[in-house]
Amino acid sequence: MARRIAQPARMVALTIDDARVEAGEGDTVAAALMLAGLDRWRATPTSGAPRGLYCGMGVCFDCLVTIDGIASRQACLTPVAEGMRVETGAGKRRLEPKR
């Protein structure tokens, strides 16, 4: 699991797949995911291969997550916020017919 070498000044609480975790103010969602012990949190739409962080600066789009209900957000660019809901595991999209 990724670890910290210095503790943040202030913490915020968020949920990752409904589990409550704490992250430092100023952390990105990607850092929060890694500190929560995750190293992969998405599957590619083509082969279903697992992916996590790669470029860490918003260019590769490997680290996509759903944040507060909005899909395909870049975890490496988005700062954590109090009460934020992060959902992992997105893969190939399915369009369900409306019932």
Site membership for other proteins, residue 6 (CB under 8 A): yes
Between CA 14 and CA 18 the distance in angstroms is 9
The set of long-range contacts for 44-47, using a CB threshold of 8 Å and a minimum separation of 24, is 44/91, 45/91, 45/92, 45/93
Neighbouring C-beta atoms of residue 26, cutoff 10 Å: 12
For residue 99, the minimal CB distance to other proteins (Å) is 23
User: For residues 55-94, which are near other proteins according to CB under 8 A?
Assistant: 55-62, 64, 70, 72, 76-79
For residue 22, the minimal CB distance to other proteins (Å) is 13
Site membership for other proteins, residue 95 (CB under 8 A): no
Between CA 22 and CA 60 the distance in angstroms is 26
Site membership for other proteins, residue 53 (CB under 8 A): yes
Task: Tell me which residues touch other proteins (CB under 8 A).
Answer: 1-8, 24, 26-28, 30-31, 34-35, 39-40, 44, 46-47, 49-62, 64, 70, 72, 76-79
